[in-house]
Structure 1
Amino acid sequence: MSEAIIGANSEVVFHFSIKLSDGSAADSTKVHNKPAKLVMGDGSLTENFEKCLLGLRAGEEKSFELEPEDAFGQPNPDNIYHVDRSKFSAEAPAQVGAIIAFTQPDGTELPGVVREVQGESVTIDFNHPLAGQKLTFEVEILEVIN
């Protein structure tokens, strides 16, 4: 086992599971056995999430709770859009709860959740589905490269 400890610039390979406050699993890299890989400080994780990983070694497991601000943030009202119902098709109908990928001007796709359908107006929420939730993260560190 490597003695490398996760530090400010470490490259880390790890499995993670995200659990909601009711204990149900929201996401896990173990489902498809595809661990996550990141470089500490690269901006892919919040500062407080990274602080929870500092000092861990390969082979260690840890569980920690994060407030919404330290996980996926609070829902932003600017990420709620009203779209005309005519923009939807039989393949992607405007149904409450449906997740639909919208193509952005730069060609990338952004998933949105249909929150409300009222007449010809469809409310789409582009906030992360886990925004505003307190989450429990379980991590298993596989590899640390300093």
Structure 2
Amino acid sequence: MTEPLVDHNSTVVLHFDLKLEDGSAADSTRVHNKPAKLRIGDGNLTPNFEACLMGMHVGERKAFTLAPQDAFGMPNPDNIHHMDRSKFGSETPPAPGMIIAFTQPGGVEIPGIVRDVAGDSVTVDFNHPLAGQKVIFDVEIVQILNQELDS
């Protein structure tokens, strides 16, 4: 029996370490020993990230660098909002660098980073915190589940 390889029909269980260009750690599944489970082709991963996983086998480890557009995207100026300070609770006044969860219509929460507080205006950035960053993924394949697509 041949060893399974990551292909277009795979669900992949993997560990990853995510680092920034300067070498600082941004995220890791190894910290809590909880690997990620990803489905190739479901639209949650960028095509370039998926391409880097293709052909890998269980136990294989590989590091690759992704440009911002292939990782978390570029910052979108439309995702930066200026809000009135009165929208924030007095028990926790907004301060630059603070991450606050905002509830959207429909109850979905989205995190925003306070970038600036000037008088009654609070600037909140809803871009992904790693948008615009070149990132380095160090992945290790734990399990590959190849499934034929249902017709």
1:41 paired residue number: 41
1:14-25 to 2 correspondence within 5 Å? 14-25=14-25
Aligned residue type for 1:97: G
Aligned residues: 145
Unaligned residue ranges in structure 1 (runs of 5+): none
After superposition, give the CA deviation of every residue in 1:43-88 in whole Å (9 maximum; x if it has no partner): 1110000000000001000000000000000000010001110111
In the TM superposition, residue 92 of structure 1 has moved relative to its aligned partner by: 3.5
2:56 paired residue number: 56
Contact kept in structure 2, 1:103 and 1:110, CA below 8 Å: yes
2:28 paired residue number: 28
TM-score (norm 1): 0.97
Partner Cα separation in structure 1 for residue 131 and residue 96 of structure 2: 18
Contact kept in structure 2, 1:72 and 1:128, CA below 8 Å: yes
1:121 paired residue number: 121
Q: CA RMSD in A?
A: 1.0
1:79 paired residue number: 79
**Identity over aligned pairs, percent:** 65
Moved over 4 A (4+): none
Contact kept in structure 2, 1:92 and 1:100, CA below 8 Å: no
DSSP-derived class of the 1:8 partner: coil
DSSP-derived class of the 1:132 partner: coil
Partner Cα separation in structure 1 for residue 110 and residue 92 of structure 2: 14
